[in-house]
Amino acid sequence: MTDAIKIDVWSDIACPWCYIGKRNLEKGLAEASGDDDAPAVEVTFRSFELSPDTPVDFEGGEADYLAQHKGISEAQAHQLLERVTGVAAGAGIEYRFDLLKHTNTVKAHELLHFAKEQGRQHELTERLMSAYFTEGRHLGREDELVSLAADAGLDGEEARDALQSGRFLPAVRADQAQAAAYGINGVPFFVIDGKYGVSGAQPAEAFAQIVRQVWSEDHDSARV
């Protein structure tokens, strides 16, 4: 019996390419799941803060943030946003940068570790990314995060306690330390079975191909 392929996804809920990469990964895994010998896969989301020094209440829009963070003009920032909006549409996501509230994401990452403990990490990851990129929700605020946790099937008061206690912050920092050890400096970044690294929001076909390849390799080694 071959063990499931483990895919660790380093991402940030405030990263537009991470949401696209997540959707493409899901589509690729769905495609491979139709194979006669379908790969068994376990996906875990890991914490990565693109901009840990961002304040909870950032003054300005996403173009302002990009211009400041990347040192580019506002016109260039708008061009980048237009490009990623088009790519997102191809993945079935309608980005609303006109509504987006840029914020610090460390509390969202803590909540994702709480959700992982409760077996609801995938549901919360989708809910947080959708809320951030398509609904203009403020993910730096505790009440908003608790509400979204409830949407994802988690107990709201337990989620609030998890945020207020800070007990999942060490897990966030451990993910970040592992990313540094791997040399990850941009997300999304996918680590397959701890030995293959895939950078960026690859197309769905690429994810389908790699899980099929790894599954075949695992089968071959199991037969030796």
Q: How confident is the model at residue 222 (pLDDT cuts 50, 70, 90)?
A: low
Whether the per-residue pLDDT at 103 is higher than 90: the answer is: yes
Domain ranges in the chain? Answer: 5-223
What is the average pLDDT across 51-73?
93
CB 11 within 8 A of CB 188: yes
Q: How far is CA 34 from CA 27, 29, 203, in A?
A: 11, 9, 18
CA atoms within 13 A on the CB side of 74: 3
How many residues are given for the chain? 224
What is the average pLDDT across 28-47?
97
Task: Count the neighbouring beta carbons within 10 Å of the beta carbon of residue 196.
Answer: 14
Q: How confident is the model at residue 127 (pLDDT cuts 50, 70, 90)?
A: very high
Whether the per-residue pLDDT at 224 is higher than 60: the answer is: no
What is the average pLDDT across 193-218?
95
Whether the per-residue pLDDT at 219 is higher than 80: the answer is: no
**Tokens in use for 102?**
């840029």
* CA separation for the pair 136, 100 (Å, rounded): 4
Whether the per-residue pLDDT at 220 is higher than 90: the answer is: no
pLDDT at residue number 69: 86
What is the average pLDDT across 22-51?
97
What is the average pLDDT across 49-69?
93
Whether the per-residue pLDDT at 1 is higher than 70: the answer is: no
* CA separation for the pair 202, 198 (Å, rounded): 8
What is the average pLDDT across 115-125?
98
What is the average pLDDT across 126-131?
98
What is the average pLDDT across 28-44?
97
DSSP 197: E
Reduced to 3 states (helix: H, G, I; strand: E, B; else coil), residue 42 is strand
Summarised one tens digit per residue, pLDDT across range 161-198 is: 999 999 999 999 999 999 999 999 999 999 999 989 99
pLDDT at residue number 131: 98
What is the average pLDDT across 141-162?
98
Topology of the domain covering 5-223: Glutaredoxin (3.40.30)
**Tokens in use for 121?**
């990490």
Residues 6+ apart with CB under 8 A from 20: 84, 87, 88, 91, 93, 201
What is the average pLDDT across 58-87?
94
What is the average pLDDT across 15-23?
98
**Tokens in use for 218?**
């695992």
Place of tokens 């950078």: 199
Angle between helix 142-151 and helix 106-117 axes, rounded to 10 deg: 30
